[in-house]
Structure 1
Amino acid sequence: MRKETKKKVRILGAVLFFLYLLALTYFLFFAEGYGRSVEGRMYAYNLQPFREIKRFWIHREMLGTFAVFCNLAGNVIGFIPFGMILPVIWPKTGKVLRILLLSFEFSLCVETIQLVWKVGSFDVDDLILNTLGGVIGYLLFWICNKIRRKIYG
């Protein structure tokens, strides 16, 4: 890829990453439809791995498809752009282990802020699902990058 094209792709990636972070911030901290109200909230947390995932799966019929999808798939899908765009704008992150660690660290920051501000809850299952989403995003980036290199050399 030519230098000018690389620069344009990185700039576009940075703009998309910024927009992604804005949308993520809204959904994780301010979207009242997802239980993000601060009033009258107590500290809520889950430190037992797979407890909430199991609970949502067992009670999926009672909770409804939307709630289960938002909690389980939403946490994964929400971090796919993180794993896809970050290697474009910051090439040194172009390893799956680095993306795994960065996804985990970013998710840990988000969960900690949710706990401290009492918006949502600190959930170790969210850490697992968010990290999985970041890794899936990176794998999608990696596959697309391999295809691009085969087509364009």
Structure 2
Amino acid sequence: MIRYINIKNIFIIYLVALIIMVVLKGDLSDVLARMESIIEQRNEGNWNISLKPFESISSVLDSYNRFGVNIVTVKVAILNIIGFLPMGFLLPLLKKNNTSFIKTMLKCLVFILIIEIIQFIACIGVADVDDVILNLSGCIIGYIFYLIVRPVIKS
């Protein structure tokens, strides 16, 4: 029982931190400025959504090939993966007998989609299918890590 409560509390703290980092990305003035900018872009006919898979990922790779490492874009791509590693690891720990890969990834996907929809509707970011791909990749890596340490956790 204590183990479950600790994992649950850790997971809640992780989710709150993730939402603050992914959705808010700064203080209130940053969020308001971003919202204003996105609303202006919408008024000009440019929506804050990207539904073409691998468009921004290939843009990052192309930029890397042409100009070398662009720290900002590489950092964003890596953080999109790393930020979701704990989700893929912690979700199976919350349920002893509900640790299947498919169920875990579906839960991760639903949460990721909720974040992307919130960003789109609230005009606080771009809803990007590549973010979904990178975030889900992080969940998969986290789940693989869970599989590696599961024998140690069970004992």
TM-score relative to the length of structure 1? 0.83
SS, match of residue 115 in structure 1: helix
| One-letter amino acid of the structure 2 residue matched with residue 50 of structure 1 | F
Q: Do the aligned residues in 2 keep the contact of 1:79 with 1:131 (CA within 8 Å)?
A: yes
Instruction: Determine helix, strand or coil for the equivalent of 1:59.
Output: helix
- Which stretches of structure 1, 4 residues or longer, exceed 6 Å deviation after superposition? none
**Cα distance in 2 for residues equivalent to 1:136 and 1:62:** 26
RMSD: 2.0
Matched, 1:133 2:133: no
1:98 Cα deviation (Å)?
1.1
Residue of 52, 55, 63 corresponding to 1:51? 55
1:38: which partner in 2? 35
Q: 1:28 aligns with which of 13, 22, 31?
A: 22
CA deviations on 1:47-78 (whole Å, 9 max, x unpaired) are 111111000121134772133222x1111111
Query: Taking structure 2 as the reference length, what is the TM-score of the superposition?
Result: 0.82
Report the Cα distance in structure 1 between the residues aligned to 2:99 and 2:14, rounded to whole angstroms: 19
Of the three residues 13, 16, 29, the one matched with 1:19 is 13
State how 1:1-150 maps to structure 2 within 5 Å: 7-32=1-26, 36=31, 37-41=34-38, 42=42, 43-60=47-64, 61=67, 64-70=70-76, 72-149=77-154
Gaps of 5+ in 2: none
Task: Find the aligned partners of 2:91 and 2:35 in 1 and give their Cα distance.
Answer: 31
Deviations 1:109-138 (A, max 9, x none): 110110001111111111111111111111
7-16 or 37-46, which deviates more: 37-46
Contact 1:112–1:122 (8 Å) recurs in 2: yes
- Measure how far apart 1:32 and its partner are: 3.1
Q: Is the 8 A contact 1:9 1:88 kept in 2?
A: no
Q: Percent identity at matched positions?
A: 27
Deviation at 1:147, TM superposition (A): 3.5
